[in-house]
Amino acid sequence: MTTTTTQPLLEAEHLTKRYEDGVLALDNVSFTVSPGQIYAMLGGNGAGKSTAINLFLNFIEPTDGEARIDGIASHRDPLAAKARVAYVSEQVRLYPSFTAIQNVDFFARLAGKTSYTREDYRQALLRVGLQPEAHDKRLKGFSKGMQQKTGIAIAILKDAPAILLDEPTSGLDPKAGREFVRLLQDLRDEGKAILMSTHDLFRAKEVADMVGIMNQGRLVMQRTRDELHGEDLEALYVRYMAGYMEG
């Protein structure tokens, strides 16, 4: 598992975001994610992870720099950029009056995938670990984790070259968490470029090909899997957070 040197799919270049109220949420951040690579963005609450992902999706405009998907700057041509990326939000909540299948169907079609059959939807839902008896139930009674799984299935079905995951494991039980890690690895092997924000150090270390630590809007450390090999990520994390505080 080596980092490829082909054209990166997700690129952040001098990405800077200052909110209207003056908060500098991202401060000149640059990184790239190539096909077949998982990039784990680590950082505490308010570090700026979601801000970065929102910039890729053009939910907000960058103050400076740009976020590119497959070479397309998100804020220049948002529709083209968004056609090439799938997204799982921090807290997936779907249409409560729809069944899981109906939800998945709607979002798949919205993504332009019209050729899927019901069976495909079932497969995808099974793949993310949603029990078959829940497929035709309305989402009203779903737990947080079940909704999260449905959300991940939606992302898989979009079959986009890049995937953005904002703290996707929140709300998943340990077993589901483990299955999720395996799923991510499969997706990577299919050649997807995956950007995942998380504060779960353990999982990050397990799957990530590249790890970046963010603190107060800055990318304070970035290591490849190989570079990390012998090191204790936890210690590094604590040190960088603390070091930044002092500096």
Partner 1 sequence: MLKLLIEKELRDAFGSTKFVVTFAVSAVLVLLAFFTGAQNYHTQRAQYEAAVAESMRGMEGLTTQEYMMLRPLALLAPEPLAVLVSGVSNDIGRTTEVRGQGMLVAEGSRYSEQPIYAAFRILDLSFIFQVVLALFAILFAFDAISGEKERGTLRLSLANAVPRGTYLLGKYLGAFLAMTLALAVPLLLGCVILQVMDVPLSGADWGRLGLIVIGGMLYLGVVLGLALWVSASTQRSSTAFLVLLVCWIVGVLVWPRASVLLAGRAVEVPSRDAIMAEINRFQRQQFEESLSSLMDIIPRESGEDGPSAEAIEEFQKRQQELADAREAEGSAFRARVQEDRINRLRVQEQWALRAARLSPATTFSLASSTLAGTSLAMKERYQESTLAYQEAFDRYLREKSGSSQGGGIRIMLRSGDEDDEPEELINLQELPAFTTQPVLFGDVMGHALLDFGLLLLFNLISLAGGFVAFLRYDVR
Ligand X SMILES: Nc1ncnc2c1ncn2[C@@H]1O[C@H](COP(=O)(O)OP(=O)(O)O)[C@@H](O)[C@H]1O
Please state the three-class secondary structure of the chain as a single string: CCCCCCCCCEEEEEEEEECCCCCEEEEEEEEEECCCEEEEEECCCCCCHHHHHHHHCCCCCCCEEEEEECCEECCCCHHHHHCCEEEECCCCCCCCCCEHHHHHHHHHHHCCCCCCCHHHHHHHHHHCCCCHHHCCCEHHHCCHHHHHHHHHHHHHHHCCCEEEEECCCCCCCHHHHHHHHHHHHHHHHCCCEEEEEECCHHHHHHHCCEEEEEECCEEEEEEEHHHHCCCCHHHHHHHHHHHHHHC
Query: Is 48 near ligand X (CB under 6 A)?
Result: yes
Residue type, 65: G
Residue 110 beta carbon to ligand X: minimum distance, rounded to whole angstroms: 25
48 binds, among ligand X, Mg ion, partner 1, none (CB under 5 to 8 A by kind): ligand X
Query: Is 45 near ligand X (CB under 6 A)?
Result: yes
Query: Is 43 near ligand X (CB under 6 A)?
Result: yes
Candidate residues 12, 15, 25, 86; the one interacting with ligand X per rule CB under 6 A? 25
25 binds, among ligand X, Mg ion, partner 1, none (CB under 5 to 8 A by kind): ligand X
The residue range among 26-34, 50-58, 170-178, 190-198 that interacts with partner 1, by the rule CB under 8 A, is 50-58
Candidate residues 10, 33, 47, 73; the one interacting with ligand X per rule CB under 6 A? 47
19 binds, among Mg ion, ligand X, partner 1, none (CB under 5 to 8 A by kind): ligand X
Candidate residues 50, 99, 103, 148; the one interacting with Mg ion per rule CB under 5 A? 50
Question: Binding mask 136-175 vs Mg ion (x if CB under 5 A, - otherwise)?
Answer: ----------------------------------------
Binding site for ligand X (CB under 6 A): 19, 21, 23, 25, 43, 45-51
